[in-house]
Amino acid sequence: MKRVAGICVLAATLAACATGPDYSRPELDMPVAFRTQDTVQGEQSLADLGWWEMYRDQTLQRLLSTALEQNRDVRIAAARVAEARALAGVTELARLPQLDIAGSFDRGRVFQGSQFSTGNLSSLQAQAFFEVDLWRRLASLNEAARAVVLANDYARHSIAISLIAEVATDYFALLSLDQQFRITERAIANRERFLLLTQRKFRQGASSGLDVSRAEASLALARGNLPDLQRQIARFENQLRILLGENPAAIVRERRDLQDFPIPLAVPTGLPSSLLERRPDLRQAEYNLAGATASVSAARAALFPSISLTGTFGWESTELSGLFSGPNRVWSFGLSLLQPLINAQRNGYQVEATRGRQEQAILQYQNAVAQAFREVADALAARRSFREFLTAQEQQVNALRQASQRVLRRYETGFSSYFEVIDAENSLFSAELQMVQAYGNSLVSLVQLYRALGGGWRGE
């Protein structure tokens, strides 16, 4: 009895040595607040809103819903999750007793003693096998497999976030191009009217032929912008259709101005530490690290002997009709221990390799966290810059509109030159296009901030 107790104590000690440390989140150097944010925010964050609450435009909501359902990258990611779950199921079954049933019927001629004999041999046996997971090798492999499932699931969510951001960005780009197209059409109409006015003044002798030529050139310049805008619109429509998992085609949408989309002056960002839970790519990196840690434990356990229990029970008979009658039962039970000797060095190298992968996973996780902080800071800086630029651009457009109206009235009464009119018209046209682009950039900066904070995937 003392010998058995001693063996149990020794086995427990070796098991403790074989298993590695449990996973714990590594230490991170996290800032108290995001750089360039307006004020130190509380735990509430813009990322807590679902994408259907963030983007209230019905057309955009329809596009996002279709993309999340049909996008091929999202479906590929979902298939990877299903594959990882199946493989994790295989790993889980390895921890359970394995039971097989085998049956055979053989007929042959063999040499026995001094003569040949011909006969039959029938058998039906149940075979059981169970590996005693004394060193937690199988348990560690199961933990690693489950970590792979979760990492793939968060990778799917990360792809969904990127998809939401891409669809919203392309949609706002389309609206911006639509508005630029309408501005160009208005500019063409104004220049056509101005050309008619210049031609009438030329016929009356109040204007020169040079003024007419300049008016015609200014009109042609505005018309030349339309083909390029049409090309860009087609490109973004095709790009959106691909994101929707469809073939290139037009996007049915309401023609509306970007000014109709409210741009909040202040948005809560949440605490920097909340990124670790809100951003699925960080959760993915962390579960990759957890899986690598479990793989180290499994590799260390492979250095120790494996203990297996085996057993068989069945029947064997030379006559198939009498297989289940008479003393034909056979059985066996055994315990086996396998200690790697020749492969011991190979297993040692395997431990070093898994430790190397674990160190890589730690650095990748830390790098992913630092990159997340940078993306939030960049998005906050871009949002502030675009907002300030938009305010200045709106003031410039308002001033140029008044100047254009005044110089046109002065030209009609002969107090301003033709060149003043052309200069004012070109400046206003350029400023209006830049203002629309500024609106689009402001909306896209909000999209990027929403994405950087990890919004849009929970609850979808």
Instruction: Write the burial class of residue 73 (CB in 10 Å: 0-12 exposed, 13-18 middle, 19+ buried).
Output: middle
Instruction: Write the burial class of residue 288 (CB in 10 Å: 0-12 exposed, 13-18 middle, 19+ buried).
Output: buried
- Per-residue model confidence (pLDDT) at position 297: 86
Q: Determine the average pLDDT of the residues in 31-38.
A: 73
pTM: 0.82
- Per-residue model confidence (pLDDT) at position 5: 45
Please say whether the beta carbons of 122 and 105 come within 8 A: yes
Of 239-253, 314-328, 347-361, which range is least confident? 314-328
**pLDDT level of residue 8 (50, 70, 90 thresholds):** very low
Residues 6+ apart with CB under 8 A from 246: 70
Q: Determine the average pLDDT of the residues in 347-364.
A: 87
Which percentage of the chain shows pLDDT scores above 90?
32
Please say whether the beta carbons of 99 and 128 come within 8 A: yes
pLDDT tens for each residue of 91-128: 888 888 888 887 776 776 666 666 766 766 677 777 88
Distance CA 260, CA 172 (A): 12
Distance CA 183, CA 189 (A): 10
CATH 3.30.470.10 fits 28-110+118-452, yes or no: no
Distance CA 434, CA 429 (A): 9
CA distances to 18, 102, 149, 174, 297 from 230, rounded to whole Å, are 67, 71, 45, 10, 60
**pLDDT level of residue 420 (50, 70, 90 thresholds):** confident
Of 80-89, 286-295, 323-332, 445-454, which range is least confident? 323-332
* Highest-pLDDT range among 26-35, 217-226, 296-305: 217-226
